[in-house]
Structure 1
Amino acid sequence: MSGVTTAGLARADNSIVFTTEDYPPYNFKENGVDKGVGYEQVVLMMKDIGIPYSIEMMPWARAIALAENEQMTCVFSTAHIPERDGRFKWVEPLLIDRNIIMSRKGSGIKVGNVDEARHYLAGTQRDDYTQSLLERQGFPRIDLAADLELTIKKLESGRIDLMPVSEKFYHKLVAEGHPLEKQFVLTEQKFAIACNKAMPDDLVTKMQVSLDRLIADGTQARIAAQYGLGPVN
């Protein structure tokens, strides 16, 4: 379900607006159809609790800004990191994943830790959780692009040296033939639904209870397996 995005409509009919980005295998569009590990869980949750909703895919910076600033709006699949903790109400976990540092294959770069990686130019998309991650790790030079696709193109063309990314997304990119190689594991992160602070607590609780059921009955694990992802732990 996609299309309606304005918070004005959400307030008018008391529905919830979900925003997300194109970030396989968590949420993405394939042949005009929205899908993904996070997407499918959100759809099942909202059908379960019977509350009207809409889902719209858009650039990440806009997606997370709408959730932070517009009532009755949530964004997924959102890394729950310290910098975001108090800015939202959380429904989690949609998945737990590791974040890695990757480089262009054949670049000659070999780094095994953050201290070594800081000597290189790292890049990511603006307002993504990885921007805060790089800043927190003290990277002195960070190139910020408008979206994920542009950052990957910069990495593959040699305009940047390193890029942090979900380990599961990295494996998907390699399987698609992208000339990339993993350098080292940077962090582990929990992916979640982040809702506006004004979202009524009873709605957040209903979503959490529904997600807990998906986890308990094995539905979440089955969805993850369909997208080639390991079990959530």
Structure 2
Amino acid sequence: MKVVLLAGGLGTRLAEETEVKPKPMVEIGGRPILWHIMKQYAHHGFKEFYVALGYKGEAIKRYFLDYYSLNGSVTIDFCSGQLQTRNRECDDWVIHLEDTGAQTMTGGRLKRLEPQLRDGGTFMLTYGDGVCDLDLGRLLEFHRRCGKLATITAVRPPARFGGLVFEGDLVAEFTEKPQIGEGWINGGFMVLEPGVFDYLEGDDTILEAHALERLAEDGQLAAYRHENFWQCMDTIRDKKLLESLWERGDAPWRVWE
């Protein structure tokens, strides 16, 4: 099954990092967050990726070209110009790096991929800036049971501040950034049918505000509730949180090991 990764946004709220690289290339544990997302999909058996490029897309192309060619030991014959690699341990992925325009909106990026996806049946889609411990196989099963054109993953966002439980004037419990019940949001991990392309128009189409709203109005949008870990990387604070989880070996999204 094909997986679309939207990786073309500006990432303005993470400007400290994204002035020199696209947001999906911001690193967690020495690897771009895009790599983490792809490792999760591959763990569940989804290994063909369409990466919708935009802002600084050449950096993503360069990363994956190097990721392939520089893996393992390398021998270079300077006279002939031949390059040989040995002891290569490479992920068995197929990656399509697709230019979808510097200013194109999320729905427009997906629309540009219609020729590659329209005849391929069900496909998955997510953004290049969030991780979770979602079982993608169960998400797909849920989508098929519902029989709708689109399924989103609903998550509860982490609180920005610590949660307090009182006993009189004393704090009985303090929880740092709990996952709280203040409403469900779109967590970004979606399963879509080709019929979704009928809800998309040109480059200015916003997937969320245009297509998903119309799908909901037509009764064609299902939601899979994910109660466990989910975290997007919108700010430097978010990046530091993910980095700290990775460094201490407590990264819930690291399902592949």
Larger Rg: 2
Q: Normalised by the size of structure 1, how large is the TM-score?
A: 0.25
Larger helix proportion of the pair: 1
Q: Whose relative contact order is higher, 1 or 2, with alpha carbons under 8 Å and at least 6 apart? A: 1
